[in-house]
Amino acid sequence: MSSVSKFAGLGLVDPLMRAIADAGYDAPTPIQSQAIPEVLNGRDLLAAAQTGTGKTAGFVLPILQLLSSHPAQSPHTGRPRCLVLTPTRELAAQVHASVQTYGRYLDLRSTVIFGGVNINPQTRSLRGRMDIVVATPGRLLDHVGQKNIDLSGVEILVLDEADRMLDMGFIHDIRRILKLLPAKRQNLLFSATFSEEIRRLSAGILSNPVSVEVAARNTASELVEQTVHLVESHQKRELLSHLIRKHRWEQVLVFTRTKHGANRLADKLSGDGISAAAIHGNKSQAARTKALDQFKSRHIGVLVATDIAARGLDIGQLPQVVNFELPNVPEDYVHRIGRTGRAGSTGSALSLVDAGEMKLLSGIERLIRRPIERIHTEGFDAPRPGPSAAPGKPAPKAPPRGSRFGGRPGDSGNHRPAGRNGRGGGSPRGGRGR
């Protein structure tokens, strides 16, 4: 029990301590140490933390305790006491799984609501006493419209990955939902980035909040080995197959920029004899869950994903992430590589960069405040800089690690304000959870 005792100072009740022990956690993560006591004290919270930091337990544990420590004031069917809003169905499912895991020794009822699946089982699940509802905004409003859910009893509101919700165009849905909540409530807002829009939203929602900010313990920090392979774009797929075979990578998450690109790459890798599947917003929920399960159980070795689809995926400790294409906004690079090196383990993130992506690469290196080491593979040529090549400069030579250009230790650079809308270019709405 000495391991669990590191959680002891946080004031969590025994049923939660037992669930934590079952989960095998040794010690609270920084976000948990900071957030749990404040939430237990009833404070509003503004938290800068992204997936991989343990943020989910940081809000789920104290919420379970608060709800179980006093009975509902007027319990009735479909009237939750806590509402957690998430941008994607995957994240909703994962947060709900955490509610069930950590709440297994408590008598609380919860359900999860998201789009892309039949509404009827959700309607049925809302009949009966309800403590916690985890939902994507669109489908939640559908249930509101059908009078399946009554939000007037919400005591605690959580906005998880608020920046991504705004990116995905959920602001109007969120505002409609806020109008249905009682004015007096506790509010917790989690976001990886803090744009003007997020600050405006949080100012309108949070009351005298405690701010907690944790550097992601992975991302661009020391834990993730980051490399860049400059390569002609037409050679990328062949190079990826070559590297997967050469290094015997068994679990690789590969990012593409588009859904179409994800499909094409997964097909081509399969054609090369490498088991691969694509996961993105156009796939049905069943197909996504199946691909994810196969990847987790190692029946397929390569999961090709778009940024939106991958966001919030809990795939444990991934050893290898590959950027088949760089993202359009540098912050997404930090999110992507945050998929590896999780929970304190080291991971590796490789980016395949062609001539047209050199400007994006410079933007990423500016954001993480360090150059990324270049690697080379015999037979795969770096693109020649020329008039038809990059819109930016030729590849900067990477100074050695630890040079004066290197970022400060632990400075992942991903919590800084990121321009007017936080992430620049519009993101696809295809992955919305409606």
Using CB under 6 A, list all residues that contact ligand AMP: 25, 28-29, 32, 51-57, 314, 316, 343
DSSP H helices, 321-371, are: 330-337, 358-368
Closest CA to 135 of 183, 99, 184: 99
Tokens read off for 180:
């249905």
Q: Minimal distance in Å, beta carbon 384 to ligand AMP?
A: 42
Q: Which residue is nearest to ligand AMP (CB)?
A: 56
* Residue number with CB closer to ligand AMP (52 or 433): 52
Tokens read off for 290:
């199946």
Q: Minimal distance in Å, beta carbon 53 to ligand AMP?
A: 5
DSSP H helices, 340-425, are: 358-368
* Residue number with CB closer to ligand AMP (121 or 316): 316
State CA 141 to chain mean position distance.
Answer: 23
CB within 8 Å of 309: residues ≥ 6 apart: 88, 90, 262, 279, 280, 281, 283, 288, 431
Q: What is the dihedral of CA 191, 197, 201, 203, to 10 degrees?
A: 100
Q: Minimal distance in Å, beta carbon 63 to ligand AMP?
A: 13
- Tokens 């020794």, residue? 105
Tokens read off for 81:
């006491």
* Residue number with CB closer to ligand AMP (210 or 343): 343
* Residue number with CB closer to ligand AMP (8 or 203): 8
Helix (H, G, I), strand (E, B) or coil at 383: coil
- CB neighbour burial string for 296-324, b if at least 16 within 10 angstroms, e if fewer: eeeebbbbbbbbbbbbbbbbebbbbbbbb
* Residue number with CB closer to ligand AMP (314 or 325): 314
Q: Minimal distance in Å, beta carbon 186 to ligand AMP?
A: 19
Q: Minimal distance in Å, beta carbon 57 to ligand AMP?
A: 4
Tokens read off for 409:
């230790």
Q: Minimal distance in Å, beta carbon 220 to ligand AMP?
A: 16
Q: Minimal distance in Å, beta carbon 161 to ligand AMP?
A: 10
Closest CA to 257 of 192, 313, 312, 332: 332
* Residue number with CB closer to ligand AMP (53 or 320): 53
Q: Minimal distance in Å, beta carbon 190 to ligand AMP?
A: 9
CA distance 73 to 156: 14
The pairing of beta strand 210-213 with beta strand 252-255? unpaired
Q: Minimal distance in Å, beta carbon 198 to ligand AMP?
A: 18
CA distance 63 to 211: 17
The pairing of beta strand 132-135 with beta strand 82-85? parallel
